[in-house]
Structure 1
Amino acid sequence: MNLSQIPVDALPGVGEQRKQDLAELGIHTIADLLAHYPYRYEDYRLSDLSQAEHDDRVTVRGQVFGQPSVRWFNKKKSRMTVKLDVDGVMVNVIWFNQAYLKDKIRAGQTLVVSGKWDRHRLSINADRTFVSQVEQEKHLGRLEPVYSVTSSIKMHWLRKLIYEAFTQYGREIEEILPQELRERYKLIPRAQAMYYLHFPKGKKEGMQARRRMVYEELLLYELKLMWLKKITRTETEGIAHRFSDDEVEAFIAKLAFPLTGAQRRVVEEILSDMKAPHQMNRLLQGDVGSGKTVVAAIALYANYLSGHQGALMVPTEILADQHASSISKLLAPFGVNVVPLTGSMTAKERREALGQIQMGLANVVVGTHALIQEAVVYRDLGLVIMDEQHRFGVKQRATLRQKGGAPDVLHMTATPIPRTLAITVFGEMDVSTIDEMPAGRQPIDTYWVKKDLWPRIVNFIAKECQSGRQAYVICPLIEESEKLDLENAQEVFEQLATQLAPIRVGLLHGRMAPAEKEEVMRCYAENEVQVLVSTTVVEVGVNVPNATVMVIYDADRFGLAQLHQLRGRVGRGGGASTCVLVADPKSEMGVERMRIMTETTDGFEISRRDLALRGPGDFLGVKQSGLPDFKLADLNEDVRVLEVARTDAAWLVNQPDFTTRPEWRPLVEYLRENQLETLKLD
């Protein structure tokens, strides 16, 4: 029996209104209901107060000593107390705003209460009270599940409904894991695990159940990724690039600097993929300034030698202009025609660019999301590179991948992704990592200062500029806001233009016309402007080696990844560089971000700690990243289980009889139900 096909209103007591109420929780079928797991449990097992720690939640049973006493405050709020003899210890029980209980409690009565234990005062702040013997027998000694509910669904009703679902359909829960995996990891049966997750007898049963179901959840997810990866390799025809290794080496030899060992390694991985007949789908990650652009240029050159066009898509026009310029400088001497394509081009410029692309005269196209518009027709697209790929939605990425006949795809990011997330979110990709910085990259000293030191910061900026260096000053807003008390770029620009005169100060923000932005960046790049006041439009990719100072105002309003990206705009030349974080954080998380930034400049360590601070959903942005919404698995806590599940999934899908062995059939059926249409069943 397939429980995912039985509607939830098959249960007694679920009419049309209840059906709609449950739908708000994503519960449509019996399978959905059984998989609506509790997020915590109320522990009504009796506690030993001699072993309980201060502020622990406890449940006790004792005899009432004396009559309850009630004090009223403002005729609405109350505080009721009574003495309770718990195993010879006189405990003071306190209820806030529950004066109605006074008439139910009498001296000599046996009472059960749950709440926070104050060990110093021998008191309990009670939030649950069981007065009658019937109530006590019903709840005492149990772990009661607590579910996500809506205002129209009461907790006790949902508990009863889930229990009824297990009573009627529990025997129909089908096992999905092969016996060999269950035995290998000593996992309890699926039906038993699901029941224990809702109604554990104790901690041991709950841990066994969670362990079993977390492994299943991660295995099924990784199985989908491994199967997609396999069919991409075996069934998706790609371009087998043919180019001369000697010509690629000649290009590398003429670079102004030698490649690092890490750059060499990832270049070999990428070129090997390009030569293979399947479509490349690779993620290249590396810290700010690790040299990803040069790697991209080498791949684009190899693609050009193979006779194909290449496309490089970036998130902002400033970055598109910068990449078009830098890539052209590297490739133009070798006969490669690099054409920019952005939304701000004039109609004439756009027509010319589109014509060159369609006729194949444009060997490399660099642009923003304009690259995926319907009017852009490529003659022979062989390689697609997406820089800062996490800024593009899944649909945008897919659209560019589909331009042309299955071009190779290289995703790049300077926001290093912890291994856990990389193998989860981008599990269908191969991952290359540049974990070595080029020689000559200067360490960046980072300081956190309060706003009252602003005059000293201005003096420091002036001193650096007078010695021939340049500075960035980053602000979170463009103009003054009544809602947020933050420094804004316009106001800071006006202040610094006066305070730093005759040092030239420029202003850059997203609302400026493209031509204005381009002129400001040109002036800054050529040192005609010494201080650039900007919003986060300079966060990614902007490269001015002479800049040695990065000041970030209201730094606690930025995320760790943004702060690290901004800091990476300096330290690109020969001089020592400084990053100053100006902030008066109002939250503990804000303080922690400032502390982390001053302790390390390692982007991988920062991303690891950022993930721990914010959780995976906020770390990447669930909508953009495609991060799965796991019901039980925690990507911080269950790293080891994830890696085991990934290994097992890869082993399964690569077995020649994976789709035909009877014991693996439930897994194959799962893949089919998840719309992996290319899966063939015998």
Structure 2
Amino acid sequence: MTLDLYALPVTHVSGVKGKKAEELLALGISSVGQLLDYYPFRYEDYTLRDLTQAKDGDRITVQGTIAGVPQVQMYGRTKSRMLLKIVVDNLFVTAVWFNRHFLKDKLTAGTDIILTGKWDQKRLHLTVSESEFPGARTSQTGTLQPVYSVSGSMTQKWLRQVMKQAVLQFGEMIPEVLPALLLRKYDMLPRKQAIVLLHLPGNMEQGQRARKRMVYEELFLFQLKMQAYRALNHSRADGVAHPLDLPGVRAFVRSLPFTLTESQKNVLAEILQDLQQPHSMNRLLQGDVGAGKTVVAAAALFAVVKAGYQGALMVPTEILAEQHKRSLDRLFEPYGIQTALLTGSLTDRQRRDLLASLQMGMIDVVVGTHALIQEDVFFRRLGLVVTDEQHRFGVQQRSILRHKGMNPDIMTMTATPIPRTLAITAFGDMDVSTLRELPKGRKPIKTYAVTHSMMERVMGFIGREVAEGRQAYVICPLIEESEKLDVQNAIDVHAQLQHAFPQYKVGLLHGRMTPAEKDDTMREFSEGRVHVLVSTTVIEVGVDVPNATLMIIYDADRFGLSQLHQLRGRVGRGEHQSYCVLIADPKNEVGKERLKAMTDTNDGFEIARRDLELRGPGDFFGTKQSGLPEFRLADMVTDFETMEQARDDAAELVRRSDFWTEAAFDSLREYLRREHILSGDLLD
């Protein structure tokens, strides 16, 4: 019987006891298996370099001879700067140590020394991070050293020693996970060899080969879970096959005050097809800001209600819940469909009455915030769950709502466009529908990037738009003044605008206000009683005020690209030309790239592609609860081709009959059992 390294406490590794074991636990490491899975995020190369080949800014290791006496400059009691001339490759180099003056007596002329640090080619300076003398017992010269994420008092040196010890003790016991046919297909290293080389690479080539093998494994296991779920779910008949009144749905669509785009029609057809199947729908509907996702959701809810079931629409904020409720009421009223609003603001009496009506089936569609997932909320016959801005809700929250019915159909919507191939791959368990077109008559928003020196012109622009009967948003990144960041804050900007426009009403909206205060302010703005709304990013999601035509964003270089696009999408919703003005620091290089993307295009999918390039998927999706996987090694941008390979391999494997029976795939089937894919659980 093989030893389960994940069941073996990490204290079995020599040198890990007491406080050290507690420090590892703080990193999420309690077993030997978890320790071996704690991979380095980069390597430091201590190979001796030829200075003539080094580039400015490189981190290099060189060997030279001390050619002078150390010069020490003290700053205060403990801070110091020490300079020393070293001859390296026939060049006189100035080595600089910070706060290492205690080394002074060891640095004698004529002695050879090995230095590692950052190279300044113009000044022939080397800022030293590490130094040693040749032949030192603990020398790192000529090696490749892993760099791990550490916290507290834990040091790289100690963690490297522990990893080395763990590899020596348990490296031979690391089990293989991938089947032989995949190892042969890609000529991959065996698992135990790959993990050993990740922690103790002889050279960069070995480290890269080991990483490639483990990245594939990580992505393959993720995709196997997705593909097995899809294969099993589509063969189950445990959902609701809704007996849809398709002519009635078509009549509802014809009654809308506007014509659906071709894109909306196609996506609605996909959803209606899903609703008639005996297995649960699990569909992601993504579309650019203003692409009309809510109308598609309304048609799906209409179809389900007319088939005799209830619908639920969960949104992240009360403002958005109220807005959706009003929109649905306008569309559903002629058909006698009863809607209700369930948020945290209801009185106890209102809540009790609403919950009773919901349980008795007197409410057809309930719109709500996370209040929908509380324990005392019951449905009579829940058929469809729609989640708006799905990345705002955790996996667990969505799962709770799903379990309030007998495997109801699930549709999640997002206005954060994800490149389609990435969406299909990352949300492998979901079918992905995409709305590309904007409704007819929408004018592109004109976007300008300006500096703070142009504020007078910006204020004039606000004044002109408001004088013509339009409204404006002014967005700030902070609520109050901060010593840490020199950025405009909402309270100061609100005061400035009140002073500049005494004839108009200037509102203020931020996250520290109570839900009731936020709702009152937003309602006043929606009804045109507030002319200029100063807000933090609480305004970002879904708010629809067609008369607002101007979006001003202070310190725009400090916002993410997708967030800027979301904010811009708050205007351009009516018949009048709309504008977005981005005020930014011209010296912020990353910010400049974002602003260029914003002024170049209004296409959310192009914005998403550039944001992914600039920031990577972790920041792009903004939250660990986005529903996207968290990988230890793999990167969803740079390893995208490997992800596609892994997806194809996993899909092919689960289609094979021998995968479900042969001993060669035992470890993979056991993995699916551990992940509850084979137990009938629905995947979130």
| TM-score (normalised: structure 2) | 0.90
SS at structure 2 position matched to 1:5: coil
Tell me what 2:82 maps to.
79
The farther-off stretch of 124-133 and 642-651 is 124-133
Q: Give the deviation of 1:322 after TM superposition.
A: 1.5
Preserved contact between residue 471 and residue 547 of structure 2 (Cα < 8 Å): yes
SS at structure 1 position matched to 2:272: helix
Tell me what 2:278 maps to.
277
Q: Give the deviation of 1:658 after TM superposition.
A: 1.8
Tell me what 1:367 maps to.
368
Residue by residue over 1:535-564, the C-alpha shift from the partner in whole angstroms, topping out at 9 and shown as x without a partner, is 444332222323221223344454433322
SS at structure 1 position matched to 2:660: coil
Preserved contact between residue 339 and residue 362 of structure 1 (Cα < 8 Å): yes
Pair 455,69 (structure 1): closer, same or farther in 2 beyond 3 Å: closer
1:473-552 counterparts in 2 under 5 A?
A: 473-476=474-477, 487=488, 489=490, 492-493=493-494, 495-497=496-498, 499-500=500-501, 502-508=503-509, 521=522, 524-552=525-553
SS at structure 1 position matched to 2:40: coil
Q: Is 1:194 paired with 2:216? A: no
Residue by residue over 1:78-115, the C-alpha shift from the partner in whole angstroms, topping out at 9 and shown as x without a partner, is 424133353x5555544444444454455554433333
Pair 456,90 (structure 1): closer, same or farther in 2 beyond 3 Å: closer
Q: Is 1:22 paired with 2:24? A: yes
Could you tell me which amino acid in structure 2 is paired with residue 81 of structure 1?
A: L
Pair 156,542 (structure 1): closer, same or farther in 2 beyond 3 Å: closer
Tell me what 2:214 maps to.
213
In structure 2, distance between residues paired with 1:539 and 1:410: 22
Residue by residue over 1:116-157, the C-alpha shift from the partner in whole angstroms, topping out at 9 and shown as x without a partner, is 334344453333333142448x53322122333345444334
The farther-off stretch of 114-123 and 567-576 is 114-123
1:287-298 counterparts in 2 under 5 A?
A: 287-298=288-299
User: Percent sequence identity over matched residues?
Assistant: 52
Could you tell me which amino acid in structure 2 is paired with residue 23 of structure 1?
A: L
Pair 657,54 (structure 1): closer, same or farther in 2 beyond 3 Å: same
Could you tell me which amino acid in structure 1 is paired with residue 388 of structure 2?
A: D
Q: How many residues align?
A: 677
Tell me what 1:570 maps to.
571
Pair 60,252 (structure 1): closer, same or farther in 2 beyond 3 Å: same
In structure 2, distance between residues paired with 1:456 and 1:282: 46
In structure 2, distance between residues paired with 1:506 and 1:168: 65
The farther-off stretch of 348-357 and 643-652 is 348-357
Tell me what 1:301 maps to.
302
Q: Give the deviation of 1:636 after TM superposition.
A: 2.1
Tell me what 2:42 maps to.
40
Pair 654,111 (structure 1): closer, same or farther in 2 beyond 3 Å: same
Preserved contact between residue 70 and residue 99 of structure 1 (Cα < 8 Å): no
Q: Give the deviation of 1:414 after TM superposition.
A: 1.0
Pair 116,561 (structure 1): closer, same or farther in 2 beyond 3 Å: closer
1:199-348 counterparts in 2 under 5 A?
A: 199-235=200-236, 237-348=238-349
1:598-677 counterparts in 2 under 5 A?
A: 598-676=599-677
Q: Give the deviation of 1:434 after TM superposition.
A: 0.7
Could you tell me which amino acid in structure 1 is paired with residue 29 of structure 2?
A: I
SS at structure 1 position matched to 2:363: coil
The farther-off stretch of 271-280 and 331-340 is 331-340
In structure 1, distance between residues paired with 2:82 and 2:453: 45
SS at structure 2 position matched to 1:658: helix
Computed over aligned residues only, the root mean square deviation of the Cα atoms, in angstroms, reads: 3.0
Could you tell me which amino acid in structure 1 is paired with residue 85 of structure 2?
A: V
Could you tell me which amino acid in structure 1 is paired with residue 371 of structure 2?
A: A
Pair 666,348 (structure 1): closer, same or farther in 2 beyond 3 Å: closer
Q: Give the deviation of 1:498 after TM superposition.
A: 5.4
Pair 22,340 (structure 1): closer, same or farther in 2 beyond 3 Å: closer
Q: Give the deviation of 1:210 after TM superposition.
A: 1.1
Tell me what 2:61 maps to.
59
The farther-off stretch of 632-641 and 470-479 is 470-479
Uncovered stretches (5+) of structure 1, i.e. residues with no partner: none
Q: Give the deviation of 1:513 after TM superposition.
A: 6.9
SS at structure 2 position matched to 1:21: helix
SS at structure 2 position matched to 1:657: helix
Q: Give the deviation of 1:424 after TM superposition.
A: 5.8
Uncovered stretches (5+) of structure 2, i.e. residues with no partner: none
Residue by residue over 1:437-494, the C-alpha shift from the partner in whole angstroms, topping out at 9 and shown as x without a partner, is 1221111011223344333323222322333433333345566778866555565555
In structure 2, distance between residues paired with 1:101 and 1:519: 66
| TM-score (normalised: structure 1) | 0.90
Could you tell me which amino acid in structure 2 is paired with residue 638 of structure 1?
A: D
Q: Is 1:130 paired with 2:132? A: yes
